[in-house]
Each structure stands twice: as structure tokens, then as C-alpha cells.
């Protein structure tokens, strides 16, 4: 679930920055987001989320030049912890299904299932194009609509909920293995 979690967290940051279209690329353990529609304010929101300290004068000057943001594994872990605290402290249920973070998580689920070693996502308002490389070196590409990602997401959430039920272990009870599929 490496990509699913990471892409969900990145999606939450992109939602906060109100970025409607972007390119996202896996760069080893890091992810790089680029957007021509990234405003100074949006970039500030992203960089502020990624920064552990206040902005230096040097960083403020870069905002007008650079239109890409790198998310490291440490950034993603920290942002995920912050989001978990916010969810625990929030009295309102999460928004509807069609949130960017949920749709990106769905893509991440797909990449995790295929063991994609590298990928690039091109996100525009009405479609999502992905190019990815499988462990055997084969390169493939797909295009999704938001509706298709919603459908995939619904089935992914069902599978995660079902898997969680089988992973429950009560203290003092024998630990059961996962059910095996007979082929």
C-alpha cells in the first residue's frame, strides 16, 4: 500500500492548494508534482505543508520561479500523521466520494496491485492519463475518467474493508492465516 497511502496524502495537499490539473511522477521513493496552473498562493500552501520551519527569504524568492514540488517519504509520513489527528478531532464525516485524495488513492491501489516500479500521472479536469512500468520492465499506459476511478475506488474500499476483517486478531486467540485462493 505504499503508493495508495502516498498518493492519498499528496491528494490532500493538492486539494488544500486548489490545484485543478497537474503532473505527478514517482521519483524513486519521492514524488514530484508539477503544474502550470500552480499559483503563487497554491505553491505557498504546498511548500508550507512540506516545510517544518517558517519560510526563509530564499524560499520566498523561489516561489515565483519554480512550479514543482517534491514530496519525500518523510514529508508524506508527517502529513499523514497530521491528517489523522485532524480526522480524529473532526466531528464531521469526510466529504463525498469524488475527492481528489480518494481518486489518487485509487490509482495508488492500482499501482500497488500491479507492483508498478515507476509511473507518471497527468491529471486534467475530465480525465487522468497514467504511464507506468511493471517489475518485468514492460511499460503500459491507461486513461481514466473520474467516474471510472470512483468505480475502482468503491471496489478497492470494499476489498480493504474485507481484508481488515480477516486481519483482526484478539489477544489469547489463535492467530489465523489469511484465506487462500484455490486455483
**Domains of the chain, residue spans:** 2-164
pLDDT in tens, 105-135: 999 999 999 999 899 999 998 799 999 999 9
pLDDT recorded at residue 117: 83
Give the pLDDT of residue 118.
Answer: 92
Which band of pLDDT confidence, cut at 50, 70 and 90, is reported for residue 52? low
Q: What is the mean pLDDT of the chain?
A: 78
Question: Strand order of the sheet with strand 22-27?
Answer: 68-71, 30-34, 22-27, 118-123, 128-133, 139-144
The reported pLDDT for the residue numbered 89 is: 82
Q: Read off the pLDDT band of 170 (50, 70, 90).
A: very low
pLDDT reading at 79 higher than 80: yes
> Mean per-residue pLDDT for 3-23?
93
Rg of the chain, C-alpha, whole Å: 18
The position carrying cell 488544500 is 16
pTM to 2 decimal places: 0.74
Amino acid at each position: 500500500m505504499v503508493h495508495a497511502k502516498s498518493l492519498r496524502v499528496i491528494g490532500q495537499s493538492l486539494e488544500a492548494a486548489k490545484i485543478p490539473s497537474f503532473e505527478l511522477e514517482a521519483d524513486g521513493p519521492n514524488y514530484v508534482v508539477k503544474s502550470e496552473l500552480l499559483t503563487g498562493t497554491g505553491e505557498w500552501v504546498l511548500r508550507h505543508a512540506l516545510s517544518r520551519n517558517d519560510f526563509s527569504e530564499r524560499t520566498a524568492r523561489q516561489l515565483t520561479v519554480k512550479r514543482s514540488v517534491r514530496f519525500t517519504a518523510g514529508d508524506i509520513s508527517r502529513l499523514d500523521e497530521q491528517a489523522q489527528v485532524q480526522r480524529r478531532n473532526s466531528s464531521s464525516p469526510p466529504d463525498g466520494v469524488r475527492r481528489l485524495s480518494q481518486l489518487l488513492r485509487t490509482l495508488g491501489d492500482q499501482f500497488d496491485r500491479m507492483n508498478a516500479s515507476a509511473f507518471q500521472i497527468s491529471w486534467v479536469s475530465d480525465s487522468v492519463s497514467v504511464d507506468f512500468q511493471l517489475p518485468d520492465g514492460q511499460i503500459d499506459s491507461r486513461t481514466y475518467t473520474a467516474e471510472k476511478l470512483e468505480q475502482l475506488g468503491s471496489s478497492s474500499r470494499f476489498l480493504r474493508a474485507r481484508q481488515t476483517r480477516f486481519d483482526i486478531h484478539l489477544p489469547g486467540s489463535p492467530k489465523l492465516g489469511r484465506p487462500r485462493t484455490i486455483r
